[in-house]
Amino acid sequence: MRRAGLVAASLLGSCLGFSASAGPVIELYRSDDPQLRLGSVAFEGGKTLELSVGIGSAAFRRPGAPDGVFVTVSDRGPNFPCGEAKEIVGVDGAQLCAGIEGGRIYPLPDYSPTIYRIEVKEGGFRILQAIPITDRAGRPVTGMPNPLTKATTETPVDGRGGKLQPRASAIDAEGIVELADGSFWIGEENATSILQVGADGKVVRRLVPAGSEGDFAEAGYPVEGKLPAILTKRQLNRGIESMAVSPDERFLWFMLQNPLANPDAKAYQAARNTRLFRYDRVEDRLVGEYVYELTPMAEFEGEQSKAQSTARVSELTALDGDRLLVVDRTERTTKLVLIDTRGATNILGSKWDDPATSPSLEQISLAEAGIVPVTKKLVFDTSAHPELPSKIEGVAFFADGSLMLVNDDDFGIEGRRTVIARVRGLELR
């Protein structure tokens, strides 16, 4: 297989988190691996989409794995709102999705979210292994919406405007870690939930907000209500989009992409207080909930006038038992933020997990409420590096400590393709 050439650039200057003498060294990797091609989908009276596999919704390198070998995961498959059909495929979405409220178009509705093992080395990257995520019987799950009654949802539509059925087993995979035994834990955005997955891709169990278990009765795998019930108030498509694991593999970390729509979407749009969770795998329960303050839009160059909900968290990577690297981003810019949970207030099981609390966690001043958030330190900002792709959603470490960044190309719907970056020279202290 021929692989596209590597692009390298040494960038001088200083930036918060780097050494004063030199900036980071950035190398870009691309691929023409045929396994990344999904084929063409034609829209009657409109355009033909050339789709690709979006492998970059999350990334992880297991300690001891060969240098440059990572696992990544794809999300629910190619999709876009009916309201964007004209711009994307040249077809009037109001006609294509006539009479369907909250419609979202899935050109390949049977696409199965998949775990990929990839190799990154000089010359590009390639797929070593693809592991479709399946139910207990080995049937591939899809990325369709779930039949939710406790949380908001949307109506799936095919490329001809026909309604599709929600599926209880379906997932929107957005975060991943691989354990020493070869099994995986996945952060899932739609429901929202987290999943334990075997090395063979079969779902072992899915943990959902308490009280919503009934929505997944036909999933074909065990479902347990071990997450706080208040998580059903996540804004649509802004659930859990991250997953990290402590070096000893005892604790899982995951964070909501955005503050909850609590009590309503207006609160979500203005809020910065989102929730970070710590799960004890030995005790099989949540043991921590902390507050992370999203970066203010005033600090995103060129996007200062946008709503605060433009910023979101797309990835977590653990450095040790208490510190994590956070991807805090918009569609244009990614900020890597080093956080420390030591000293932060544990609000698990407090009044802030009660939807009746008013004002809600999303509406308050943390200082006035006596809540100490996790500490933050900016270590990298892509606005200074236009050569990097937008929409970075995967972060992991090479064996030498340099960072691997990968974008979510949204399955090529808007012409983007997967790009992997290696960033050397960061000081994560």
- Tell me the pLDDT of the chain (429 aa) as tens digits: 334 333 333 332 333 333 434 689 999 999 999 999 999 999 999 999 999 999 999 999 999 999 999 999 999 999 999 999 999 999 999 999 988 888 999 999 999 999 999 999 988 999 999 999 999 999 999 999 999 999 999 999 999 999 999 999 999 999 999 999 999 999 999 999 999 999 999 999 999 999 999 999 999 999 999 999 999 999 999 999 999 999 999 999 999 999 999 999 999 999 999 999 999 999 999 999 999 999 999 999 999 999 999 999 999 999 999 999 999 999 999 999 999 999 999 999 999 999 999 999 999 999 999 999 999 999 999 999 999 999 999 999 999 999 999 999 999 999 999 999 999 999 887
Identify the three-state secondary structure at position 344: coil
Task: Give the C-alpha separation, 272 to 126, whole Å.
Answer: 38
- The angle subtended at Cα 178 by Cα 172 and Cα 181, nearest 5°, is 130
Identify the three-state secondary structure at position 324: strand
Is 346 within the bounds of a domain? yes
Helix (H), strand (E) at residue 89 = helix 85-89
Is 381 within the bounds of a domain? yes
Is 153 within the bounds of a domain? yes
> What residue type is assigned to position 236 of the chain?
L
> What pLDDT, on the 0 to 100 scale, is given for residue 19?
40
pTM for this model (two decimals): 0.94
Is 161 within the bounds of a domain? yes
> What pLDDT, on the 0 to 100 scale, is given for residue 22?
67
Task: Give the C-alpha separation, 118 to 65, whole Å.
Answer: 11
Contact present, 269 and 309 (Cβ < 8 Å): yes
CATH code of the domain in which 209 resides = 2.115.10
> What pLDDT, on the 0 to 100 scale, is given for residue 222?
98
> What residue type is assigned to position 192 of the chain?
T
Buried b (16+ CB within 10 A) or exposed e, 335-345: bbbbbebeebb
**Contacting residues for 101 by C-beta, under 8 A, at least 6 apart:** 155
- The angle subtended at Cα 250 by Cα 248 and Cα 251, nearest 5°, is 110
The DSSP string of 167-182 is -TT---EEEEEE-TTS
Task: Give the C-alpha separation, 96 to 369, whole Å.
Answer: 48
Is 2 within the bounds of a domain? no
Range of the domain at 294: 7-424
Q: How many domains does the chain have?
A: 1
Is 429 within the bounds of a domain? no
Is 127 within the bounds of a domain? yes
Is 211 within the bounds of a domain? yes
Q: How far is CA 397 from CA 9, 23, 120, 200, 253, in A?
A: 19, 18, 12, 24, 17
